[in-house]
A and B are shown apart, each in its own frame.
Chain A
Amino acid sequence: MKQEDIILVEEPQLTLSDGFYLPQVFIGLGTTMKHMWKTIRPSGDIVVQYPEERREDRPVDEGGMLRPTYRGVHRLNKDMEGRPNCVACFMCSTACPAKCIHIEAGESPWPDREKYPVKFDIDELRCIYCGMCEEACPCDAIELTSIYKLVGTSRQEMILDKEKLLEIYDQTIDHEPM
């Protein structure tokens, strides 16, 4: 590093009015008052009123949801014959930074492939919805859908198994093609 690269930043001195705090306080109060007025005036602009209003119902350029890139709950894609595309290669669980995908592989019952997942569990509570699994999958078998509503009454319920993930495929395939 050269001497001229160094920029000495002086701590700004408080001006007289800053030193008294109050003028700045009043400016701040003005700002919040402006927001309050903007919210309570008859045509107030306010945040999305979930659940009556949903982002997916809004056009994208008005702050709506961009479905194709939204990263929500996972699904396991199926092929034409309704079998899971997944070949249990563990690429997704290897790539997963949260280590939340647990696969048990087995010999597949179909002649055209070696391996298939006997068990495929994703702990949706651990998942950080980064989409790395989707990136890693060589078979386009795992995908993140735009479902963000995910509720359960126990931790166990939030570990989605293979059946559940395939079911999510059925639910979402119509509006989110593979």
Chain B
Amino acid sequence: MIDKFFTIVPPWLIVLLVIFNVLLGAAAYLILLERKIASWTQDRIGPNRVGPAGLLQPLADGIKMFVKEDFRSKNTDKFMFTIAPIIMMLVVFTAMAVIPWGGVYQGTLTHESPDAISIPHGATLVGDPEPTGNGTEVVSTYRVPFQVFDANIGVLFLIAVLALAVYAVVFAGWASNNKYSFLGGIRAAAQMVSYEVPMGLSIITVVLMFGTLSLNEITEAQARYWFGFIPAWNIFCQPLAFIMFLICLHAEANRAPFDLAEAEQELVGGYHTEYSSMRLGLLLMGEYVGMVITSAVLVALFLGGWHFPGLTGNVDPANPSVTTSLLEIVLRIVVYLVKILVIIGVFMWVRWTLPRFRYDQLMNMAWRGLIPISLFGMVGTAVVIYFWNREPVDGVLLISGTQAIALLALNVIALVVFAVAAKMLPKANPNRKLQVPGSRFNPTQPATQLD
């Protein structure tokens, strides 16, 4: 019955439609959640005027955004000014495509003849269709992932697409023709470029371990147990990479304490200073949806994605993601979303706890802290797994319990090494003055026209 339905409306389309709309709604409600969390940390109650406990606040905000005048100040670059929010939205929704929301569904279909086999779009047949003995009827077993597009280069795709978000910010800053916006754009660009490196390195660590770029397969590989009871999530064997990745996500999302691009106090809102009405709405929504997507990636890479003890299908031991129960698929999606929500909660909690970094601290942290550590972690992981001659299971390398312990040990070693190294490294002087030729501070050349 449902299988017939899937041939008409393929699962990827369902996922696309549902998730797309859920995300749009979620972005609005995330703003409410953000405000609530802000209030709670500050001993307030937060929005409570519109609807019960302020629950209709996002609606009111949305209406406000829509009905406000679409204002563009005089000397802006019209084209770039317009496409910046569009790029923002486009990028985050494109990234959504490769997120493995619910694992793989296995179903059966009865066809009238072996020549008229029609399975849902995006599904693959398992084995050959078998005749039922009822005329020419055959029964086929097919598997279909609950994911918009199960790309085998999923991770690469994600990095590529998310990196495009910086264009939106830079375009917005540049097109606004406002010095604050421009500064915001420039800061964002430098920051995103810097933090993409440790982010990429932590992702490579994970990719190395499993030998695959497909997010679906990486999730599936974590849907197992070490020593029979510990979920084989990457956070347990690569805690350092997890933390690096989490930090980088904050930076990528331009959120406190990395919100230098929109620092209200210094830059009056940064790249979106000149934006108003729905254009601003799109930029903000893009930011929040981006947060959801990047958290989804984090969950997929380190927290086992949809996996939760008890939710592994047992149709095919080599592929724990395969299940024949749609209910299980739905439960997995719920689990996935809850994990994302927790991560986003952490994002917000951090935002209302930590003050903003200074720009040099920000750069120091990326280039002197995160990049060396994640580089060390990556190389170490490569060395550790090199010594195990593992057999791929269905194209994926797996991490056994002992390997996990070895990797954990490696993480601890990395921490100790860096603790020692940090003491020995020469300290950067945060107040050093760069001697730019011709500047007032350059003692080598007499300052002439300036003083």
A positions within 8 Å CB-CB of B: 16, 19-22, 25, 28-29, 31-33, 35-36, 38-40, 45-47, 49
Contact = CB atoms under 8 A, between A and B. Distances in A.
Nearest to A33: B349
Given A16-B422, A22-B243, A47 B43 contact: yes
Contacts of A20: 419, 422
B42 interface: yes
A38 B44 CA distance: 10
Interface in B384-436: 419, 422-423
Contacts of A21: 365
Contacts of A32: 41, 349, 352-353
A31 B423 CA distance: 29
A47 B42 CA distance: 9
Contacts of A38: 43
A49 B41 contact: no
A35 B37 CA distance: 10
| Listed residue (B243, B353, B365, B419) with the most chain A CB atoms within 10 angstroms of its CB | B353
Nearest to A17: B419
What's the interface size class on B, roughly?
10 to 19
Contacts of A22: 243
Contacts of A49: 45
A47 B39 CA distance: 10
Contacts of A29: 349-350, 353
Contact of A16 (B39, B365, B419): B419
B78 to A, nearest CB: 34
Judged by DSSP, the binding face of B is: helix
A47 B44 contact: yes
Contacts of B243: 22
B44 A25 contact: no
B420 to A, nearest CB: 9
A54 to B, nearest CB: 16
Interface string B14-49: 000000000000000000000001011111110000
Contacts of A47: 43-44
A151 B105 CA distance: 62
Contacts of B41: 32, 35-36, 39
A16 B415 CA distance: 11
A36 B37 contact: yes
B116 interface: no
B43 A46 contact: yes
A31 B40 CA distance: 12
| Listed residue (A19, A32, A33) with the most chain B CB atoms within 10 angstroms of its CB | A32
B216 to A, nearest CB: 32
A116 B352 CA distance: 56
Contacts of A28: 353-354
Contacts of A40: 40
Contact of B43 (A25, A33, A35): A35
The 8 closest A-B pairs by CB, nearest first: A36-B40, A32-B41, A32-B353, A39-B40, A28-B353, A35-B41, A29-B353, A19-B422
Contacts of A45: 43
A12 B108 CA distance: 69
Nearest to A45: B43
A69 B34 CA distance: 38
A49 to B, nearest CB: 7
Nearest to B361: A21
Contacts of A35: 40-43
A25 B45 contact: no
A105 B353 CA distance: 56
